[in-house]
Structure 1
Amino acid sequence: MTVAPFPPNAPNTPYAPHASPGIAAAATDLTKVYGSGDTRVVALDRVSIGFREGEFTAIMGPSGCGKSTLMHCVAGLDTPSSGSVRIGTTELGTLGDRQLTQLRRDRIGFIFQAFNLLPTLTALENITLPSALAGRRPDRQWLDRVVSMVGLGQRLGHRPAQLSGGQQQRVAVARALVSRPAIVFGDEPTGNLDSRAGAEVLGFLRDSVRELGQTVVMVTHDPVAAGYADRVVFLSDGRLVDEMAHPTPDRVLDLMKTFDTRDTRGTRSRTTGTS
């Protein structure tokens, strides 16, 4: 059932993060501004949200609403203009560059629309690359479990050019999971895949939550992809405006249509903050 809209950042809203061991990542009063003067754009406007452990969350909204910016700031890939972000109990704003790099390597998994595999490495070498860079050997039992889950057992010796797009993205999923990160972020992870390969990858992400207890946050524009999530949060004009638990593609699509209606009626300007 869709949660009724509420004033953004009101206290005790479903989006407000709380100090709890059940929160894998959280943002508080997160604001991101690009440019200044006439070119000033508010990409995120005082966003507060928590991502619960062991849950699959999809972030959706109209083009340019700030969903990728939110993910990049929470994942430590971009720096907010104001507000705070934490992974577990670690406040990202207190970390130096080296500490932040280490946190991203050790506690965060990433899956992008582009597979970002090294062409000279085998599938197995790509999967274990983060561990190798950290000077650690992966847990063999866990590695075998992840590889089995994504169905790559017969492809580990193949290089990316020898794999289909769906298989390459499976490698990227396994790479994100193999270090047992606190949270995995996916930015349009099925955007370069056909519907069948995309469904397989989404199924693997769903299984990683159900079977491995993984926390997954995915940015997507696709209602079908969002239907794999436990909940969907909706951004519009840089603010969180709605949430849906137990989503289905039809329900997500129906709600997305309301954003299109709001856009045609005129929304708050992202540069001036007025209607």
Structure 2
Amino acid sequence: MSTMTDIAAAARVVDAVKVYGAGDTEVRALDGVSVDFTAGRFTAIMGPSGSGKSTLMHCAAGLDTLSSGSAFIGDTELGALDDKRLTLLRRDRVGFVFQAYNLLPTLTVAENITLPIDLAGGRPDREWIDALVDVVGLGDRLHHRPAELSGGQQQRVAVARAFAGRPDVVFADEPTGNLDSRAGEEVLGLLGRTVRQMARTVVMVTHDPVAAAHADEVVFLADGRLVDRMAAPTADKVLDRMKAFDGRTGTPSAAARAQGGPS
């Protein structure tokens, strides 16, 4: 039987420190965080406003650099790569889903999904793309353009695009932030199905306990530090955990954030 040490991490940071500014204006967004994101699992990152959750995701994904410590995708240390190799790694091994869908309006759904592969000069794996389209439920929309889709459908296209190149890990930053609750549930369910049915890895930053409940595990940050991990989360358990932060920090309540307040 496998133990946690036997299971590979799709991404991880070790003793991660990220400092912005200097002197009186210095802010330690990450203060010695070590955390692994297990391959084949859906992990949510939560914490009060200013806890460092988005900074952690950006540094783990190679979108930002650490002040000290290390970040890895698989066994590759990001800090050891020059700009060109880092760009190639992000293109080939990392997928991204953001709050804004970032679709090209002149391209069809099918063209948007394969765009990163096409830009890289690659050839899409049609069997994989077809299976992905089936999972995200866009088979009857492939020839539509983004303006002809609802917000939830556009985000499903963005999710399919993120997975199209079979990345080691997909990072999702508040992926349901622009969606109503029903469309948001559809996108979260889709992320979960992609992890389970297609053996993918997702790391999601969210402020919403309901969204976090779709994950296999929740990682909690506060004041730039890792303070807790929760397996098999429920919305109620996550909300209770967040209330402990709110009482200490005076940040907006988790319930308020779940209704679209500050993250």
Q: Which residue, 247, 255, 258 being the options, matches 2:244?
A: 258
Q: How far does residue 264 in structure 1 lie from its aligned partner after superposition?
A: 4.2
Matches within 5 A, 1:16-55: 22-55=8-41
Q: Which residue, 210, 219, 239 being the options, matches 1:224?
A: 210
Structure 1 residue 138 corresponds to structure 2 residue 124:
yes
Q: Tell me which residue corresponds to 1:8.
A: none
Query: 1: CA distance between counterparts of 2:135 and 2:36?
Result: 28
Q: Which residue, 139, 142, 148 being the options, matches 1:156?
A: 142
Matches within 5 A, 1:19-168: 22-168=8-154
Q: How far does residue 153 in structure 1 lie from its aligned partner after superposition?
A: 0.5
**TM score, norm. by length of structure 2:** 0.92
CA deviation map 1:114-144 (0-9, x unaligned): 0011111111111000100111111000000
Q: Tell me which residue corresponds to 2:256.
A: none
Q: Which runs of 4+ in 1 moved over 2 A?
A: none
Query: 2: CA distance between counterparts of 1:41 and 1:85?
Result: 20
User: Aligned pairs, how many?
Assistant: 248
Q: Tell me which residue corresponds to 1:245.
A: 231
Judge conservation of contact 1:21–1:88 (CA < 8 Å) in 2: no
Judge conservation of contact 1:58–1:220 (CA < 8 Å) in 2: yes
AA of the residue aligned to 2:28:
V
Q: How far does residue 262 in structure 1 lie from its aligned partner after superposition?
A: 1.3
Q: How far does residue 97 in structure 1 lie from its aligned partner after superposition?
A: 0.7
Q: Tell me which residue corresponds to 1:175.
A: 161
**Unmatched tracts of structure 1, length 5 or more:** 1-16, 266-275
Q: Which residue, 179, 189, 200 being the options, matches 2:186?
A: 200
**TM score, norm. by length of structure 1:** 0.88
Q: How far does residue 170 in structure 1 lie from its aligned partner after superposition?
A: 0.3
1:234 to 1:139, Cα distance in 2 relative to 1, 3 A = same
Identical residues among aligned pairs (%): 69
**Unmatched tracts of structure 2, length 5 or more:** 252-263
Query: 1: CA distance between counterparts of 2:50 and 2:71?
Result: 21
Query: 2: CA distance between counterparts of 1:48 and 1:151?
Result: 37
Q: How far does residue 24 in structure 1 lie from its aligned partner after superposition?
A: 0.6
Judge conservation of contact 2:220–2:227 (CA < 8 Å) in 1: yes
CA deviation map 1:65-88 (0-9, x unaligned): 100000000000001111101101
Query: 2: CA distance between counterparts of 1:95 and 1:179?
Result: 21
Structure 1 residue 185 corresponds to structure 2 residue 171:
yes
